[in-house]
C-alpha cells in the first residue's frame, strides 16, 4: 500500500508541475476546437476564478502531503483573491469546498501564522453575519435554512420566480 500511495503522490506533483507550466491549456467538452464532440455531458471547464480555487485547494492538499514550502507559498500569495476576502468576509454556500480547504489549511502545522489567522478571522466574521448564525439564532426561517441562499437558488434555477416569502 505504501508504494501505491507514493506513486499517487508522485503523480499529483507531476500534475501540479504540468498545470503550472501550462496555465493556458483548457479542455472543453463537446467543442470542435478541442476535437471533443460527443464527449461528456455539458461543459465541464470552469472560469478563471474557478481555476484559481482549484489551484489553491490543490496547493493545500500538496502542502499537507509533502510539506514543501512552495505549495504553502501559493496559498499565502493567493488566498486574498478568493471571494471570502474580496467580498468582505463573504461565506458563500456556493464555495463551500474552497472555504473548507482554506480552513483546513489554517489548521495545518507549518501554515503561515498570518495566513491562518486571516482565514479563520474572515470565516468567523462571515459566519457571524446576518445570513448565517445570526439568522439561525433569530429563527428568521422556519426550516433554519440559509435564507439568502434559498432565494439565490430560486433565482438561479427558476429565473424570475417569486421570492420564497
The pLDDT tens digits of the residues spanning 82-127 come to 999 999 888 888 899 999 999 999 999 999 999 999 999 999 999 9
Q: Which cell numbers hold the place of 87?
A: 467580498
Q: Which cell numbers hold the place of 90?
A: 463573504
Along the 165 residues of the chain, how does pLDDT read in single tens digits? 889 999 999 999 999 999 999 999 988 888 888 888 888 777 788 899 999 999 999 999 999 999 999 999 999 999 999 999 999 888 888 899 999 999 999 999 999 999 999 999 999 999 988 777 777 777 776 666 655 555 555 545 444 444 444
Residue 158's pLDDT is 47
Through-space distance between the first and last CA atoms of the chain, rounded to whole angstroms: 54
Give the orientation angle of helix 113-127 with respect to helix 96-107, to 10 degrees: 140
Taking only Cα atoms into account, the Rg of the chain, rounded to an integer number of angstroms, comes to 19
State the pTM of this model. Answer: 0.82
What is the 8-class DSSP label of residue 94?
Answer: T
Amino acid at each position: 500500500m505504501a508504494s501505491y500511495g507514493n506513486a499517487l503522490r508522485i503523480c499529483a506533483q507531476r500534475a501540479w508541475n504540468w498545470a503550472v507550466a501550462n496555465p493556458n491549456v483548457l479542455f472543453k467538452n463537446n467543442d470542435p476546437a478541442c476535437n471533443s464532440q460527443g464527449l461528456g455531458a455539458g461543459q465541464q471547464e470552469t472560469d478563471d476564478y474557478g481555476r484559481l480555487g482549484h489551484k489553491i485547494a490543490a496547493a493545500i492538499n500538496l502542502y499537507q502531503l509533502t510539506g514543501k514550502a512552495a505549495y504553502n507559498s501559493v496559498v499565502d500569495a493567493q488566498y486574498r483573491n478568493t471571494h471570502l476576502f474580496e467580498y468582505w468576509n463573504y461565506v458563500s454556500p456556493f464555495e463551500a469546498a474552497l472555504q473548507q480547504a482554506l480552513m483546513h489549511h489554517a489548521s495545518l502545522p507549518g501554515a503561515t501564522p498570518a495566513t491562518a489567522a486571516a482565514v479563520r478571522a474572515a470565516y468567523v466574521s462571515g459566519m457571524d453575519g446576518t445570513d448565517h448564525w445570526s439568522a439561525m439564532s433569530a429563527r428568521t426561517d422556519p426550516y433554519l435554512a440559509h435564507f439568502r441562499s434559498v432565494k439565490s437558488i430560486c433565482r438561479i434555477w427558476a429565473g424570475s420566480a417569486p421570492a420564497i416569502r
